[in-house]
Amino acid sequence: MKMTPILRRARAGLLAGVAATALVVSGSVAMAETIRWARVTDALTMDPHSQNEGPTHTLNHHIYETLVGRDDDGTLTPRLATQWGISEEDETVWVFTIRDGVKFHDGSDMTVEDVVFSLDRARTPPSGMAALHAAVEEVTAVDESTVHVRMAGPAPLYVQNLTNTFIMSKAWAEANGVEAAPNFAAGEEAYSVRNTNGTGPYRLVERDPEVRTVLQVFEDHWDDAPAVTEIIYTPISEAATRVAALLSGEVDIVQDVPVQDIARLEQTDGIRVVRGPENRNIFFSYDMSSETLASSDAATNPFAEPLVREAMALALDRNAIRQVVMRGESQPSAAPLPPFVNGWTEEMDAFGDPDLARARELMEEAGFADGFSVRLDCPNDRYLNDESICQALVGMMAQIGIRVDLNAQTRSLHFPLIENWETDFYLLGWGVPTFDSQYVFDFLVHTREGSYGSFNGSRYSNPELDAKIEALATMTDLEERDALIAEIWAEVMDERIFLNVHNQVLAYAMRDSISLDVHPENQPRMTTVSFD
Amino acid sequence: MIAFILRRLLQSVMVMLTVALVAFALFRFVGDPVASMVGQETTLAERAEIREALGLNDPFPVQFVKFIARAVQGDFGISYRLQQPVMELILSRLPATLELALVSGVLAFAFGVGFGVYTALRRGNWLSGTIMTVSLIGVSLPTFLIGVLLIWVFAVELQWLPSFGRGEVVQVGNWWRTGLLTESGRASLILPAITLGLYQMTLIMRLVRAEMLEVLRTDYIKFARARGLSNRAVHFGHALKNTLVPVITITGLQMGSIIAFSIITETVFQWPGVGALFINSVRFVDVPVMAAYLMLIALVFVVINLIVDLLYYAVDPRLRVDRANARS
């Protein structure tokens, strides 16, 4: 069998070492470099607005571009917009200056009309991105390089919602009948599911869903040419096979490295593993509002009792979960948000050693000296080692008399339990794509009504806090706003709405001649790859 | 004859309908497809709307009748996950599964018969013992483990064969993409074919061995030997020929199982066939694909059984006589 060379390098000539390194870093050396990239799942669709889903966005970011980008450290960077800000005359209007000289893959120029069209397409159902643009009233092109987005009210953080909203060609969409995002219920395949026309650094050359996707560098891209000129993307769902493919030299980068293989891969010659915090926290939460619990033998709802919640926090040994369940690959924390999200403080993240004696005292004080039984609902295929984390908790809770009956099942059965309030005690993971605490409050803390609180499985309802959360959305004075965020967090942490376990850590494994940093949203860009 | 065929056809339709019904009843327990279709920002009201639009709120009999009505026209809807027509998706994946099933079936038959004859003739020698022992290990280890072991040895350690995928494929006609015509395609086929065929090979080997031992004790073999025929003529011309009838029947019937049970092998080797498609669909609760796949597998079994029945009818006159008697 003919093995393709790992990296086909065609160095034009001999360059002095220093100069070569400098040029590689700036990414402007003309070399043919192929990267074979494997991860667990494929993108669901190539349509830029149909699905708000991680792997889909990750692949599409290579073909399409957004107005603003997200750097490895979480900050916003200019992409198709060179400047953005809130209008000085009207605080409900966002002003975007659109980059000049951008071409689509079909050769046409990108204009402000395309931007207006794309934002309108993204905010109209059945687009999967609509919820992120719910506050938009109107998008207009003011002149040849300026787009105004008028919001229902002041929206100081709207730009944070744009990091996954791609710009597509209006003419191309109209020519191919994909003016709107594909509709699941329509019963036919849209042209945009397997065909693309973006402005991104790579063109789609071959697309065989769940088998192989090939991208080639787009010569007319506005930015510096990337070091990688061809990307071969293959989903490999089986963990052992994925790792084997890297070890046998059939792929160059494996994005989803199984936790149990990280240590072994690090010791393997020729393989490099990079790690970084993921934008995802793993925590337990419980029904703290109902009178009684459906799955418990207790006469009243024990989770409604603050002392019980405190006792549970004292019985949870986060470091043990890190050592035993996660093999050291997690960041234990008390607050349910990653460190790079606005509103996070070291203070709220800190936790003490477990104190079982004190926890048992608190249980007794709360009137549950004999403990109680409860069912814990847990997904078994959604987060890293999710079921094992739940199993560890069962043992820890038994120490203070809480008899936990573990119900671990697939994600499609688990999440409806939270949605329908059919669980008393559950595990949930939450990422914060806007990098701001408001996102956590909106979905997890606010009373469930309208677009608020859809993942608030604790049934927690505090009108005063709700009012504060709603106020956050329209506050333009950022200092004042941060103070309010701190105030809300103080209350949330004090009420112990969440029993947070840890922040997930991402690991990418690659051939050691390649450098790629971990992206906090788990959306690595092959444009950032460099070769040693 | 026509009445018999009609009766069998009618029975086949009933089997298909039953499979559809059972499958549909099971789908109610696999979870909510909408949860995996939308982002976490989607409001509960919007989720409810999608559920309504997809007809997931309809009563069970309504959903079932709608499904059957569309299925008989060959319309299985659109995949929730990949947003492509289900029929097109399955047809594009089917060649991979059929090629894998065919090659592993042929391998299983060839090696099964070969090893079976050898172990029957050379009972007690060390090689026979080894073959029997290894085949026992092969049949008792789960497919998943065999696949991973083969990958480890031949892809990672020796680097002789690819660990995943189907290699380069060539388009033949409109619907068929074959990996058999390229070098990398053939190399990719070896490990999955061995993994998938190992169990069938063992089965055939043991069957051939037992039949051979049985036949070798019969009188006509003794007569053949008495006539002074060479060992080769006795073993292959007389003994083996007479053992093959049940072996061919079993092999034919096993083809259906190979197709149906390729799911695990396809998952381990990231083989882009219908089995892997089904597993990914189960994870995502992609009901249209799951339904179509189960119907397809049912169809494969029904067709094979129908052909076998019809062959028996053609071959065995007693069936015809019985039926004629029953009618009078």
Q: Nearest chain A residue to B166 by CA: give it.
A: A211
Distance CA A528, CA B5 (A): 65
Distance CA A518, CA B5 (A): 64
- Name the CA radius of gyration of chain A, rounded: 25
Count of domains for chain B: 1
Q: Do B272 and B309 form a contact (C-beta atoms < 8 A)?
A: no
Q: Nearest chain A residue to B269 by CA: give it.
A: A241
| B81-100: b (≥16 Cβ within 10 Å) or e | bbbbbbbebbebbbbbbbbb
Q: Do A318 and A502 form a contact (C-beta atoms < 8 A)?
A: yes
Q: Letter for the amino acid at B150?
A: L
Q: Do A149 and A136 form a contact (C-beta atoms < 8 A)?
A: yes
Which distant-in-sequence residues (6+ apart) come within 8 Å of A81 by Cβ? A67, A68, A96, A97, A98, A99
Q: Which of A182, A212, A413 sits opposite B83 (nearest CB)?
A: A182
Residue B191 within any structural domain of the chain = yes
**pLDDT score for B190:** 94
**pLDDT score for A259:** 86
From the first residue on, what is the mean pLDDT of each consecutive set of 10 residues in chain B (328 residues)? 83 90 82 79 82 83 87 85 87 92 91 91 88 84 89 92 89 85 91 91 90 88 86 83 78 80 90 91 88 89 81 68 54
> Residues A212, A214, A218, CA angle at the centre, nearest 5°?
165
Is B88 within 8 Å of chain A by CB? yes
| Residue B83 with chain A: CB contacts under 8 Å | 44-45, 47, 50, 182, 184, 189-190, 193
Q: Nearest chain B residue to A240 by CA: give it.
A: B148
Q: For residue A138, how far is the Cα from the chain centroid?
A: 27
| Residue B84 with chain A: CB contacts under 8 Å | 189, 193-194, 209
Q: How far is A245 from chain B (nearest CA, A)?
A: 6
Distance CA A210, CA A176 (A): 24
Interchain proximity A188–B85, CB inside 8 Å: yes
Interchain proximity B284–A125, CB inside 8 Å: no
Distance CA A238, CA B265 (A): 11
Q: Do A257 and A507 form a contact (C-beta atoms < 8 A)?
A: yes
ipTM of the complex: 0.82
Distance CA B205, CA A382 (A): 43
**pLDDT score for B318:** 66
End-to-end C-alpha distance for chain A, whole angstroms: 28
Q: Do B221 and B215 form a contact (C-beta atoms < 8 A)?
A: yes
Distance CA B82, CA A46 (A): 10
SS3 A114: helix
Pairing of strands A93-98, A81-86: antiparallel
Distance CA A434, CA A432 (A): 6
Interchain proximity B187–A1, CB inside 8 Å: yes
Residue B262 within any structural domain of the chain = yes
Q: Do A276 and A414 form a contact (C-beta atoms < 8 A)?
A: no
Interchain proximity A1–B151, CB inside 8 Å: no
Kindly write down the DSSP assignment for every residue of A273-329, as one continuous string: EEEEEEEEEEEEEE--SSSS-TT---SS-GGGSHHHHHHHHHH--HHHIIIIISTT-
Q: Do A93 and A150 form a contact (C-beta atoms < 8 A)?
A: yes
Q: How far is B254 from chain A (nearest CA, A)?
A: 26
Interchain proximity B82–A212, CB inside 8 Å: no
Q: How far is B153 from chain A (nearest CA, A)?
A: 10
Q: Most B CBs within 10 Å: which of A238, A250, A265, as the mutation test of the B interface?
A: A238
Residue B311 within any structural domain of the chain = no
Interchain proximity B163–A419, CB inside 8 Å: no
Residue B135 within any structural domain of the chain = yes
CATH of the domain at B112: 1.10.3720.10
Q: Letter for the amino acid at B176?
A: W
Residue B17 within any structural domain of the chain = no
Distance CA A450, CA B77 (A): 31
Q: Do A480 and A468 form a contact (C-beta atoms < 8 A)?
A: no
- Among B residues 275-294, those touching chain A with beta carbons less than 8 Å apart: 276-277, 279-280, 283-285
Residue B196 within any structural domain of the chain = yes
Distance CA A261, CA A287 (A): 36
| Residue A234 with chain B: CB contacts under 8 Å | 164-165, 270
**Scanning the structure block, which residue is given the tokens 């949930």?**
A428
Nearest to A506 by CA among A245, A257, A251: A257
Is A381 within 8 Å of chain B by CB? yes
Q: Do A199 and A102 form a contact (C-beta atoms < 8 A)?
A: yes
Which distant-in-sequence residues (6+ apart) come within 8 Å of A418 by Cβ? A377, A426, A428, A455, A457
Is A44 within 8 Å of chain B by CB? yes
Q: Do B33 and B54 form a contact (C-beta atoms < 8 A)?
A: yes
Q: For residue A129, how far is the Cα from the chain centroid?
A: 14
CB-count burial class (<10 Å; 0-12, 13-18, 19+) for A467: exposed
Residue B212 within any structural domain of the chain = yes
Q: How far is B29 from chain A (nearest CA, A)?
A: 8
Pairing of strands A202-208, A330-332: unpaired
Pairing of strands A34-39, A230-235: parallel
Which distant-in-sequence residues (6+ apart) come within 8 Å of A144 by Cβ? A111, A112
Question: A136 has which bridge partners?
Answer: A151
Nearest to B102 by CA among B160, B155, B170, B179: B179
Q: Nearest chain B residue to A415 by CA: give it.
A: B35
**pLDDT score for A382:** 85
Distance CA B124, CA A464 (A): 85
Nearest to A132 by CA among A108, A149, A113: A149
Distance CA A444, CA A457 (A): 8
* pLDDT (tens place) for every residue of chain A, 532 residues total: 343 333 333 333 333 343 444 444 444 444 679 999 999 888 888 999 988 888 899 999 999 999 999 887 778 999 999 999 999 999 899 999 999 999 999 999 999 999 999 999 999 888 888 888 988 999 999 999 999 999 998 888 899 999 999 999 999 999 999 999 887 666 678 899 999 999 999 999 999 888 999 999 999 999 999 999 999 999 998 889 999 999 999 999 999 898 888 988 999 999 999 998 889 999 999 999 999 999 999 999 999 999 999 999 999 999 999 999 998 999 999 999 998 899 999 999 999 999 999 999 999 999 999 999 999 999 988 898 999 999 999 999 999 999 999 999 988 889 889 988 999 999 999 989 889 999 999 999 999 988 788 899 999 999 999 999 999 988 888 899 999 999 999 999 999 999 999 999 999 999 999 999 998 888 999 999 999 8
Distance CA A380, CA B58 (A): 29
- Please report, rounded to a whole number, the percentage of residues in chain A having pLDDT higher than 70: 93
* Residue B27 to residues A184, A380, A413, B282, B284, Cα–Cα distance (Å): 18, 19, 12, 10, 12
Q: Do B261 and B85 form a contact (C-beta atoms < 8 A)?
A: no
Distance CA A292, CA A297 (A): 9
| Residue B155 with chain A: CB contacts under 8 Å | 244-245, 248, 250
Distance CA B95, CA B177 (A): 6
Q: Which two tokens stand for residue A219?
A: 């010569």
Q: How far is B37 from chain A (nearest CA, A)?
A: 8
Is A193 within 8 Å of chain B by CB? yes
- Which residues span the domain enclosing B198? 92-272
Distance CA A168, CA B235 (A): 72
Residue B153 within any structural domain of the chain = yes
Phi-psi region of B171 (alpha: psi -120 to 50; beta: other; left: phi over 0): beta
Q: How far is A508 from chain B (nearest CA, A)?
A: 19
Q: Which two tokens stand for residue A509?
A: 């494994």
Distance CA B28, CA A368 (A): 38
Distance CA A345, CA A361 (A): 30
**pLDDT score for B81:** 84
> Residues A85, A91, A96, CA angle at the centre, nearest 5°?
25
Mark out the alpha helices in A76-160 (DSSP H runs): 112-123
Phi-psi region of A101 (alpha: psi -120 to 50; beta: other; left: phi over 0): left
Nearest to B137 by CA among B208, B202, B204: B202
Which distant-in-sequence residues (6+ apart) come within 8 Å of B129 by Cβ? none
